[in-house]
């Protein structure tokens, strides 16, 4: 048995049972939606409000992924010694929908270097997710890597995940910078980059996900 649920303007809530196998939601006798074994079907000319599709989760039920943006760097890059530098082409921009939402940043990078290389995550012009230098001349980085053994034909692979709270609804750029103490350092290639089968040309990626608070 099924039922018609009608919000009548004269008699209030009116329930009428039938044998259709459906539940019909009505207002003043006009169909709004039908519920049956296949799901919910809106009546002709009726739609769900946008808030029902894009609204916030109830309090205590955060964790919905609102959007995902990703950049993949396929080409190679080389950097110089002694200063923090942007890695060309390894950045991504996202515009959070709420100041209470967080952004999960996932970075995977391949490269090589003659000496230990440090990497740091940037939100616009601000370093984030960096370590405590503990005084002295130590570089504050997010991840560190070194090709080992340093024979010039090997790549390192480094990854990191960081949950950021940008507290903004403005376009926000996340990128990776690198610092090498001495010698050249490279992204998506080995140090020697010889044209032979023992060398590789990998990729690097940065992906950001907005998580509803």
Q: CA 151 to CA 199: how far, in whole Å? A: 12
Closest alpha carbon to 139 in 91, 174, 181: 181
Percent of the chain, pLDDT > 90? 37
Q: Looking at residues 157-181, what average pLDDT do you find?
A: 93
Q: Looking at residues 144-150, what average pLDDT do you find?
A: 64
Q: CA 84 to CA 120: how far, in whole Å? A: 9
Residue pair 106/161 in contact (Cβ under 8 Å)? The answer is yes
Q: Looking at residues 76-86, what average pLDDT do you find?
A: 87
Q: Which ranges in the chain are annotated with CATH 2.60.120.1340?
A: 65-211
Q: Confidence band (pLDDT; 50, 70, 90) for 1?
A: very low
CA 58 to chain centre: 22
**What phi and psi values does residue 182 have, to the nearest 5 degrees?**
-155, 155
**What phi and psi values does residue 52 have, to the nearest 5 degrees?**
-70, -20
Contacts of 194 (CB under 8 A, 6+ apart): 153
Q: Looking at residues 185-210, what average pLDDT do you find?
A: 89
Q: Confidence band (pLDDT; 50, 70, 90) for 147?
A: low
Instruction: Check residues 184 and 165 and name the one with the higher pLDDT.
Output: 165
Look at residue 185 and tell me whether its pLDDT is greater than 70: yes
The owner of tokens 């740091």 is 120
Q: Confidence band (pLDDT; 50, 70, 90) for 14?
A: low
Residue pair 195/180 in contact (Cβ under 8 Å)? The answer is no
Helix residue ranges, H only, the chain: 50-54
- 65-211: CATH, from 3.40.50.300, 2.60.120.560, 2.60.120.1340, 3.90.470.10: 2.60.120.1340
Structure tokens at 127: 């370093």
Instruction: Check residues 176 and 63 and name the one with the higher pLDDT.
Output: 176
What per-residue confidence (pLDDT) applies to 6?
64
DSSP assignment letter at 149:
S
**Antiparallel, parallel or unpaired: β 204-211 and 12-18:** unpaired
Look at residue 59 and tell me whether its pLDDT is greater than 70: no
H/E element, 94 = strand 85-94
Degrees to nearest 5, angle at CA 132 with 128 and 138: 105
Contacts of 178 (CB under 8 A, 6+ apart): 79, 84, 85, 87, 117, 118, 119, 120, 185, 187
Residue pair 142/162 in contact (Cβ under 8 Å)? The answer is yes
Contacts of 83 (CB under 8 A, 6+ apart): 179
State the pTM of this model. 0.69
């Amino acid at each position: 048995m099924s039922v018609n649920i009608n919000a009548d303007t004269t008699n209030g809530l009116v329930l009428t049972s039938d044998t259709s196998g459906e539940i019909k939601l009505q207002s003043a006798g006009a169909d709004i939606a039908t519920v049956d074994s296949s799901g919910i079907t809106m009546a002709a000319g009726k739609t769900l409000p946008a808030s029902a599709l894009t609204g916030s989760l109830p309090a205590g039920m955060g964790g919905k992924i609102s959007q995902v943006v990703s950049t993949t760097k396929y080409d190679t890059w080389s950097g110089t010694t002694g200063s923090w530098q942007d890695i060309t082409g390894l950045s991504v921009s996202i515009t959070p929908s709420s100041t209470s939402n967080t952004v999960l940043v996932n970075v995977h990078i391949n490269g090589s270097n003659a000496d230990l290389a440090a990497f740091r995550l940037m939100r616009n012009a601000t370093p984030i997710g960096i370590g405590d230098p503990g005084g002295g001349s130590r570089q504050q980085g997010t991840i560190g890597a070194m090709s080992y053994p340093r024979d010039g034909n090997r790549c390192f692979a480094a990854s990191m995940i960081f949950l950021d709270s940008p507290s903004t609804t403005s376009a926000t750029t996340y990128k990776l910078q690198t610092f090498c103490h001495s010698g050249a350092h490279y992204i998506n290639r080995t140090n020697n980059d010889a044209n032979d089968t023992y060398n590789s040309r990998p990729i690097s990626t940065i992906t950001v996900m907005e998580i509803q608070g």
